[in-house]
Amino acid sequence: MKKLVCLILSLMLLCGASAFAEALPAEGLFTPGTYEAEAQGLLSTIKVQITVTESEITNVFIDASGETATLGGAAASILADEILTAQTPNVDIMSGATVSSNAIIAAATEALEAAGADIAALDANRRDTGDENAVKEEKTIDTEIVIIGAGGAGMTAAIMAQQAGKDFVILEKMPYVGGNTTKATGGMNAAETHYQKEQGIEDSKALFAADTMQGGHALNDPQLVAMLANSSSDAIDWLDSIGAELPKISFSGGASVNRIHAPADGSGVGNYLVDRFSAKLDELGVEVMLNTTATELLVDAEGKICGVKAEGADALYTFNCKAVVLATGGFGANLDMIAEYRPDLQGTVTTNAPGATGDGILMAKALGADLVDIEQIQLHPTVEQTTSMLITESVRGDGAILVNQQGLRFTNELLTRDAVSAAELAQEGQYAYILFDQNLRDHLKAIEKYVKAELTVQADTIEGLAEQLGIDPATLAKTLADWNEIVKNQRDPDFGRTTGMNADLTTPPYYAIKIAPGIHHTMGGVKINTAAEVINTEGKVIPGLFAAGEVTGGVHGGNRLGGNAVADIVIFGRIAALSAIEYVK
């Protein structure tokens, strides 16, 4: 008996996947049973459990809870459905969650192979090849407001509209919510907040506005900037009211004081907010129409908004409405638009979510909306180039330095992003390393993601780190010793850095990530006024059309300060919703 158990266990180990299977039938696609396998995702080991009968996959369970909540979690539920529908593990990967998707497919393949499946035969007989020529049902829906886009601005507007008791729909073209907000890591700028007061930080709305204008090279619309700064502490209070507290305050480039507000544990602000916005929408009973792409804005004979056309997986929609809130995001992931407006940036990696393709800008433009600063595109200086992963500015804000391949600092690391990016591009090879220590890692949870994704090189000594980076050890050791002296004296004679100098870099192990600039934010977009009404090329309001977030231009001018994108989506998301609510009264 013991021998038999050992034999069964050995066979299971040989499979590489655990199996609880019945005997292999003479014919049939699978050996009935439940099979499990694992594969490494972006941040964690993903587990897939598949149940099969002789002829069918009957259940797919994917545990991707260690991945980013929004994308990894979405990939788990979307790919589980797709594998079940297609009856093969070879389904489309989810854009924006490539690593998680590939891990799911690999683990599902292994589990099904353990079930005796011939994967090529499953592919040949896949069951998800619907009729591409099938005519989609046409549906007409009457509502008061259509919110287009379920990123941070759209979800904010939806919460406001639901709390005001409005009849509205919210459309999202991607199979998941969050948009580019899921990529935001650092935090949200706000001045005169109760958190700043509690932490003894002196700030003012006027200083916030002045910093934003200066950071944007005064190209910004001063009225929009004043609105941003003046509404910012109210927006923090509003976030508190929906359970999205941002109490950790630190420094971000271009700010005069500590102003960027983040989650208490220093985790990425974007996924934190998207999780809380989603939870609030669930609690309020709001359903986001996913996989539904708005294709056209409709106006009546007087030029007032009267509807939206959209395409879903099974239906073509006409929404009759009085107002539209455009919250479709920027165009940092639309290579054609980047090539059109900034040919010099072709070939540059982008930190943007795949849905950031400028659709709202194009739809509004077709209605005569004016576009401002459309060629103003921000490069973020610390982007890991093989994964396009943003290394948050908070790493520098909390004390990291940048060194080049010679092991030398070459800039004040906390200048505005355009300046730091330009300094990097002037280095040999046009890249640099961001360097920090264990103490910094311990205080910034966002770093765990980079370590788990194996983007960091680490060593117990600075010389050991240098060797791994191919830098002269003595030079890097001197650079670090000099830096620690600068922190001690709070004076940077070489580059004049005055911020992000609260802690030296003396706690091993030491870490480095190779980085270079990447497209991060499209500052230009549709012109709005302080009520978030869209303005046409004749300077007139397009009645019923409101816009918020990265789809708009004017708030950030020629260079956005870190922390102002999240401020923008929350503040103007609220304003656009309030204006639309008032308009449809």
- Toward ligand MEZ, which CB reaches closer, 47 or 276? 276
- Toward ligand MEZ, which CB reaches closer, 73 or 330? 330
491 catalytic? Reply is: no
Return the structure tokens found at 536.
């046409």
| H/E stretch holding 549 | none
Minimal distance, residue 381 CB to ligand MEZ, in Å: 9
Minimal distance, residue 350 CB to ligand MEZ, in Å: 13
Task: List, in sequence order, every residue forming a beta bridge with 171; answer none if it has no partner.
Answer: 148, 289
Residue of 417, 441, 497, 560 marked active site: 417
Contact 98, 42 (CB under 8 A): no
Contact 236, 259 (CB under 8 A): no
Residue nearest ligand MEZ, CB atom distance: 186
446 burial type by CB count under 10 A (0-12 exposed, 13-18 middle, 19+ buried)? buried
Strands (E), 424-555: 432-437, 457-459, 510-522, 525-527, 533-535, 541-547, 552-553
- Toward ligand MEZ, which CB reaches closer, 186 or 216? 186
Return the structure tokens found at 415.
């200048």
Number of Cβ atoms within 10 Å of the Cβ of 580: 32
Minimal distance, residue 515 CB to ligand MEZ, in Å: 11
- Toward ligand MEZ, which CB reaches closer, 175 or 563? 563
Minimal distance, residue 215 CB to ligand MEZ, in Å: 11
Minimal distance, residue 252 CB to ligand MEZ, in Å: 6
Give the integer Cα–Cα distance in Å for 371 and 356: 17
Query: CA 120, 122, 124, 127: dihedral to nearest 10 degrees?
Result: -160
Minimal distance, residue 421 CB to ligand MEZ, in Å: 12
Contact 548, 207 (CB under 8 A): no
DSSP line for 353-388: -TT-S-HHHHHHHHTTB-EESTT-EEEEEEEETTTT
- Toward ligand MEZ, which CB reaches closer, 179 or 187? 187
Contact 141, 317 (CB under 8 A): yes
Residues that bind ligand MEZ (CB under 6 A): 184-187, 252, 390, 392-394, 562-563, 565
Return the structure tokens found at 497.
């850095």
- Toward ligand MEZ, which CB reaches closer, 112 or 414? 414
Number of Cβ atoms within 10 Å of the Cβ of 287: 9
Minimal distance, residue 201 CB to ligand MEZ, in Å: 17
- Toward ligand MEZ, which CB reaches closer, 185 or 479? 185
Number of Cβ atoms within 10 Å of the Cβ of 279: 13
Measured in residues, the chain has a length of 585
Return the structure tokens found at 269.
């602000």
Active site (catalytic) residues: 417
